[in-house]
Amino acid sequence: MRAAPTILHLDMDAFFAAAEQASKPSLRGKPVIVGGLGPRGVVSTASYEARRFGVRSATPMAQARRLCPNAAYLVPRFQLYRTISEQVMELLGRLSPLVEPLSLDEAFVDLEAGGVAFGSAAAREAGERLRRDIRAVTGLSGSVGLAGSKMLAKIASEQAKPDGLVLIEPGTEQGLLAPMPVRILPGVGPATGEHLRRAGMTTVADLAEAGEDELVRLLGKSHGASLYRMAAGHDDRPVVAERDTKSVSVEDTFDVDLHDRVRIMTEVGRLADRCVQRLRASGHSGRTIVLKVRRYDFSTLTRSETLRGPTDDPGVVREAAGRLLDSVDTTGGVRLLGVGVSGLADYTQEDLFAQAAEERAAEGRASGERAEEEPEGEDSAAAAAEAEPVEDPAQRRWLAGHDVTHAEYGPGWVQGSGVGRVTVRFETPTSLVPGRVRTFRVDDPGLEPSEPLPLVETTEPLPLVEKTEIEIEAETGMGIGMRTDGTAERQARGGTPAGQESPLARRPKSRSEGGGPGSGAAMSRP
């Protein structure tokens, strides 16, 4: 525990939904729900407008649609979220070398280690400056908590939501925690909370009054002792810059139960490939392959196989996951599949996988023999071109909320698709009014998927003015302007030619200058 509130916790406000609202002017101020849109999907993030209807993270999507039928339901765009997260983490890194990311939108920062704060006033100033910088760089808001421990800093950021800052002065911890529910403490989940409720403990004050011995009797030595210390406001966990990754995994929930064994095997192979991609991206390999199967009756089976050494070979992971699947009965149907790798290391042992390498080499030799048997020339080249898979435009999937661009209308985003049509709203993050909506055939040749646009325009530095122009302005009091035909004309300094409106007066005002939503200017609606 520290004598000054120099541990900062940042939590971006409704991160996924806020990013979607910032990139889509037509959704600003409206309920937005991001998550899996299938009948078995769950909510990843709900905007604050949607939370008024009772929609929260992890709410089943079917229930969310009943609670808030008029919300915009969008598929996550993780590429955009990761880009924004990197910008935020870079800002945190400027405050201190000790930054502990918890997720894309949440992190602890040790301000004392960065030398930016050793007391309450400096810590508050650093937190406010961080919030301003985040809004300037990303266009989004974040809530900041400051305290002498990680637990209290996180509680403070929750109290600060949305878009606020709360500082907990050391010495006030017990009075603050006493009336709060036990679920506010780290390590108290639904099961532990229910266990404590049955014992008559619903608030943090109840835990403190029960004493350490009673909590140890109820929850065990380690958990009970830790919970008692936290109930008293004590938390000495340090901010750790590097957190060891324990496992890498991917999983999919299917809209309809899978019964076909071949299809199930195909999905397991696809998940294994995705898992290896994430494994390699993190710079790791692993020696324990894990298969997760959730059956039609919600029973979940987990099978694992430990190899003789770590690998990041997709063929080896696919084969191991396939062997694990052979030991699982899937006749009743499968609603979820997952493949993971644990026992991570930062190296691989290639010699352990000679068999997989030999199989790939054998496939290569076989394909080479077939190539030698085929005639060379234009006919063989045409045959090879015909053999290459070509994407059928009619089969393209247009996911709600994802970015597209049209050859005639420019950038936009998918509002919805079905029955061979896709509806697109053409607007960008910097549009001042909601964009127009148009509908196309799904195979429209002018419509293509595109990359997310930045939420905030990057301001380029003003070009240097030539010395001769400066001299002219200083000597004559006249500036140099440009006519529409590209020829130069002189303008009175600080003014415009007679009968013309200043370009600065014509340009849209920023929010800081009184423009944009809430400025009193009328906004057209689609």
Q: Which residue has the higher pLDDT, 461 or 164?
A: 164
Q: Catalytic amino acids?
A: 106
386 pLDDT more than 90 = no
pLDDT for residue 32: 97
More confident residue, 143 or 467: 143
Q: What is the mean pLDDT of residues 180-204?
A: 90
Bridge-based pairing of strands 165-167 and 247-258 is unpaired
- Position 368 scores a pLDDT of 54
Structure token digits, residue 220? 């065990």
pLDDT value of position 191: 87
pLDDT of 457: 78
pLDDT at 491 over 50: no
C-alpha–C-alpha distance, residues 334 and 395, integer Å:
25
Q: What pLDDT is attached to residue 393? A: 57
Q: Average pLDDT over the chain, rounded to whole?
A: 82
Taken in order 219, 222, 225, 230, is the CA torsion positive or negative?
Answer: negative
pLDDT-derived band of residue 461, with 50, 70 and 90 as boundaries? very low
Mean pLDDT for 218-232 is: 90
Nearest partner of 110 among 187, 186, 10, 11, judged by Cα: 10
Strands ordered across the beta sheet of 43-46: 43-46, 32-35, 72-74
Taking the CB of residue 172, how many other CB atoms lie within 10 A of it?
A: 12
pLDDT value at position 38?
Answer: 85
| 410, pLDDT greater than 60 | yes
Compute the average pLDDT of residues 252-261.
90
Q: What is the pLDDT of residue 360?
A: 54
pLDDT category of residue 485 using cuts at 50, 70 and 90: very low
For residue 411, the model assigns a pLDDT of 96
Quick check: 507 pLDDT over 80? Answer: no
What pLDDT, in 10s, does the model give residues 111-152? Answer: 999 999 899 999 999 999 999 999 999 999 999 999 999 999
